[in-house]
Amino acid sequence: MAPKVPSVGGVPLSGARAGVALVVVGVVLFTASLVVGAALAPNVGAADDGETRQTLVGSHGGGPGLHEKGSVYLLDGRETAWRAGDTDSYFDVTMLDNGSVMAGFMQGGYEDCGPYESPCTHTGFRIIDPNADSDADPEIEYEYSFPVRTEKNSEVHDVELLDSGEFLVTDMEHERIFTVEDGEITWQWNASSYYDAPEDPTRTDWLHINDVDVIGEDRYLVSVRNANQLVIVERGEGVVEVINEGDGTAAGSPTPRGDPTLLRQQHNPQWLGDGRVLVADSHNDRIVELQRTDGGEWEVAWEIYAAEGVTFNWPRDADRLPNGNTLITDSLNKRLVEVNRSGATVWSYGTPEVPYEAERLPAGETVGGVSYAEDGDGEATTIGEGRDIPVLSFLLVIVQTGVQTPFWFTEVHVAVTLVSLVCVLVGLGLVVRERFRRR
């Protein structure tokens, strides 16, 4: 039996013509999905209730891996008052009492590389003078940095200035927190004292320690991202409490893992008070307030999955503000959103690049804050719905990390893109095969 000849509307097509038709279908399908997505997209990043706000932003950047065009900038209302850039990435930002800004950073091109080949990447923290009262550009007043093996998953994401004059720093490269003064390390806690460590943590993204906050005298709240856990470290004692302790390990890993439905690769927790913590639950695409039960377990008291009609996409910071609202950094949607307890958006701003963290001035991120659990009826409040489509959601994060697609580009567009790509590849294959057959 002769093979069936492809046809369109009953008209037979040659292999080449069928291939061209498939390519056209693929291109039209992909283009149509983008046009429809943009046309139906809700208006985000434009909410404004007329109040005057100052918001300090640390921008991760853009491009593949998000390590391009990093900056620190101050929003005065919706206008940019000043910006410090020309760095691959900036992360956590804090305004100091004298008006300078302290920020974690990552930058390539250094010659001082220690055990690594030159040029190399450095990470650490900087203190930036914004020169806000003059026409001069912001300038770096001080830098503490050290070389790392790679720019990926080795960055210093957070630094805090202690009353002692020491700087408290997170270190992904060696998976530790440490204090430094006058360029010398004065104390450190190594995660290997609590977790089972690989032979060389600089060669793998083992724990990804990405945040530390002072929550009491010599007590630090540490975000251990890849373990889905927050730990409280007491200076001189080590780990004294684990939030989301879990009951097992990840497959093939000696590292204990917390329950991924409670926390999943989180960022920037804020200690609201004893037994309450607000967390950017990044890979669950939500902001969650957790509370400790009488039995010592941690449970959800309040959670929000969306604002302005758009589901969060890799949010990496949430601060409970003095006015009782919550300021959210929605990284891959490239926006900042302030919501009230009911989830209504009172202010939002679309950022030019992927933001890492934002602080509302003058208070910044506080230790202690309004808890939504306190006035509740004991039942968890859930606002919006999560969106986790197997395979497609994972692919979407990969695409958005590398390309920074618009916020309305969803799993549906990923699926259409895959179908369009198959059409184009099969079509090109038919065209090529037909040409070889005719030779």
- Looking at per-residue pLDDT, the higher value among 251 and 197 belongs to 197
Name residue 241's beta-bridge partners.
232
Phi-psi region of 131 (alpha: psi -120 to 50; beta: other; left: phi over 0): left
Which residues lie closer than 8 Å to 54 by C-beta, 6 or more apart?
Answer: 74, 75, 76, 77, 81, 360, 361, 362
| Pairing mode, strands 335-339 and 345-350 | antiparallel
Contact 56/95 with Cβ under 8 angstroms? Answer: yes
Q: Closest by alpha carbon to 227, among 262, 184, 272? A: 262
Residue 17 to residues 5, 7, 12, Cα–Cα distance (Å) = 11, 9, 9
- Model pLDDT, residue 16: 79
Instruction: Name the E strands within 111-152.
Output: 120-129, 139-148
pTM score, whole prediction: 0.90
Question: CB count, 10 Å around CB of 125?
Answer: 26
Mean pLDDT (whole number) for 314-327? 97
Residue 117 CA to chain centroid, in angstroms? Answer: 29
- Is the preceding peptide bond at 362 cis, omega within 30 degrees of 0? yes
**How far separated are the first and last CA of the chain, in Å rounded?**
25
Supply φ then ψ for residue 346, to 5 degrees.
Answer: -105, -20
Mean pLDDT (whole number) for 313-319? 96
State both tokens at 334: 């490239």
Mean pLDDT (whole number) for 169-176? 96
- Model pLDDT, residue 375: 66
Q: Closest by alpha carbon to 103, among 63, 132, 60? A: 60
The 10s digit of each residue's pLDDT in 134-147 is 778 899 999 999 99
State both tokens at 361: 């001035």
Handedness of CA 373, 378, 383, 384 (dihedral sign): positive
Dihedral, CA of residue 127, residue 130, residue 136 and residue 142, to nearest 10? -10
DSSP label at 284? G
Contact 283/264 with Cβ under 8 angstroms? Answer: yes
The 10s digit of each residue's pLDDT in 260-283 is 999 999 999 999 998 999 999 999
222, pLDDT greater than 80: yes
CA atoms lying within 13 Å on the CB side of residue 79? 3
Mean pLDDT (whole number) for 34-38? 94
Contact 200/174 with Cβ under 8 angstroms? Answer: no
Name residue 320's beta-bridge partners.
326
Contact 334/316 with Cβ under 8 angstroms? Answer: no
Handedness of CA 78, 84, 85, 87 (dihedral sign): negative
The 10s digit of each residue's pLDDT in 61-97 is 998 889 999 999 999 999 999 999 989 999 999 999 9
The 10s digit of each residue's pLDDT in 111-137 is 999 999 999 999 999 999 998 777 788
The 10s digit of each residue's pLDDT in 374-383 is 766 678 899 9
Q: Closest by alpha carbon to 119, among 151, 87, 90, 153? A: 151
Q: Closest by alpha carbon to 222, among 268, 154, 282, 291? A: 268
CA 391, CA 330: separation in Å to the nearest integer? Answer: 21
Mean pLDDT (whole number) for 367-372? 94
13, pLDDT greater than 70: no
- Model pLDDT, residue 439: 63
- Model pLDDT, residue 253: 46
CA atoms lying within 13 Å on the CB side of residue 315? 33
Mean pLDDT (whole number) for 309-328? 96
Count of residues making up the chain:
439
- Model pLDDT, residue 32: 96
Question: What percent of the chain is modeled with pLDDT above 70?
Answer: 93
CA 399, CA 419: separation in Å to the nearest integer? Answer: 16
- Model pLDDT, residue 352: 93
DSSP label at 250? -
Handedness of CA 78, 79, 81, 83 (dihedral sign): positive
250, pLDDT greater than 50: no
Residue 93 to residues 160, 278, 280, 317, 432, Cα–Cα distance (Å) = 9, 18, 16, 11, 54
CA 219, CA 115: separation in Å to the nearest integer? Answer: 33
Mean pLDDT (whole number) for 144-158? 93
Per the listing, tokens 């959800």 go with 300
